[in-house]
Structure 1
């Protein structure tokens, strides 16, 4: 199906990043509200200690996963045109993917609260990132948006879906599902999910295992 497609796109959710020990935002277990700007302001040290444990350390120590790298290779080989993701971890881009619609934004866009300057993901490696100019705290863009929609990325994703003749869903629970009804869908997820009923092909397995097995055939 993939080799026959002219405009294949991918939708990814939390499941593609779990092998990097990055948690699913839906089932996040944390001592503080990671999506709260107030929590950051009230206790920056506690906030960033938790944020490092949940996101920053796994991103730089464990990611990108084999699946992220495989998708980057598919894009390089022009077998897929782009990726729509509800993940904020920036692992698709770190793996080398160029066309990514991060519909909940990502950790490569971070605002200083006082001056508004924007810095990349590497800045988050500091224990408590503060601006060298204004001294303000750094807030990741997904938190700044309260884990809300990035409208530009969302519109881009919708445009891609209109162009698609194949959509591959990986580790997604269907938070983004603007797929036209006449489009072929391949669904990769270890558990039953939102896409099981409409997919032409469903593979109940972890994506790292699936892609390791089919790599030599593409």
Structure 2
């Protein structure tokens, strides 16, 4: 099957690439779903809960205080480097990632759409100001030194497994410009992906010769729709993913393998 993947990648000049959590697991960032596509843990924070509850925001940022330091220290793995190398050869006009870790750019990829945003920034929901998460992180640590000293398990997307803690004591600073609510500049469940990102991805699908999915179960419609569109246009689609995907019936090729191992031949 690896030779079939090699033939697929090398046999198409312009690949539309879509990546998911499985692309970053070799960098130490956990994924959300098991081999059947079911949740491994409870569903992540929703937009409605975050915006509607101060308690939910305190809980989110208390966990994120511990989780961000781990995701921000992650390094690209061979899957990221392989895709960057393929782009450098002019074979990937656009890479769309569902991940928020910025590891594709760290590996050298330049034509990247961060479909769900980036965890290293924050957006004020009042005035729209964009803030650096690094500076915000330092402020969280200053205001919550007792929380910063806690130990917690590593969870997806900069989260941490922190339970049985009184989150009401946690202090979340407001926007320094207007006093509004600060939210990670990522797309939460129940929140719409910005239209310009979706349109850029659809345009790239239309221009591509084929689609390659790397490390995504495609259970979330925001990613699945691009494979569905490619199939509708008669473009071949291949996937490297440990476990089932929502698009299994649309794929010309499916390889159940670790992403870094499967793509290492490109290096």
Counterpart residue number, 1:150: 194
Q: Is 1:38 equivalent to 2:51 in the alignment?
A: yes
Residues matched between the structures, number: 214
SS at match of 2:183: strand
Cα 1:121–1:72, aligned 2, differ >3 Å: closer, same or farther?
Answer: farther
Counterpart residue number, 1:165: 209
Deviation string, structure 1 residues 98-156 (Cα, Å, up to 9, x no partner): 22222333324421345431124434533256544555553112257854222110111
List runs of 5+ in structure 2 lacking aligned partners: 1-7, 141-171
* Residue 190 (structure 1) shift: 1.4
* Residue 66 (structure 1) shift: 2.6
Q: Which has the higher contact order (CA 8 A, sep 6+)?
A: 2
Q: Larger C-alpha radius of gyration, 1 or 2? A: 2
Quick check: 1:12–1:87 contact (8 Å CA) kept in 2? yes
Counterpart residue number, 1:83: 95
Deviation string, structure 1 residues 151-192 (Cα, Å, up to 9, x no partner): 110111111111111211111222323323421222101113
- Does 152-161 or 39-48 show the bigger shift? 39-48
Structure with a larger share of its residues in helix: 2
**TM-score, normalised relative to structure 2:** 0.67
SS at match of 1:193: coil
**TM-score, normalised relative to structure 1:** 0.79
Stretches (4+) displaced over 6 A: none
Q: Please report the RMSD computed on the Cα atoms of aligned residues, expressed in angstroms.
A: 3.0
1:1-218 map, 5 Å = 1-19=8-26, 20-24=28-32, 27=39, 29=41, 33=45, 35=47, 36-38=49-51, 41-42=54-55, 44-54=57-67, 56-126=68-138, 127=140, 128=172, 130-134=174-178, 136-142=180-186, 146-174=190-218, 175=221, 176=224, 177=227, 178-181=229-232, 182-212=234-264, 214-216=265-267
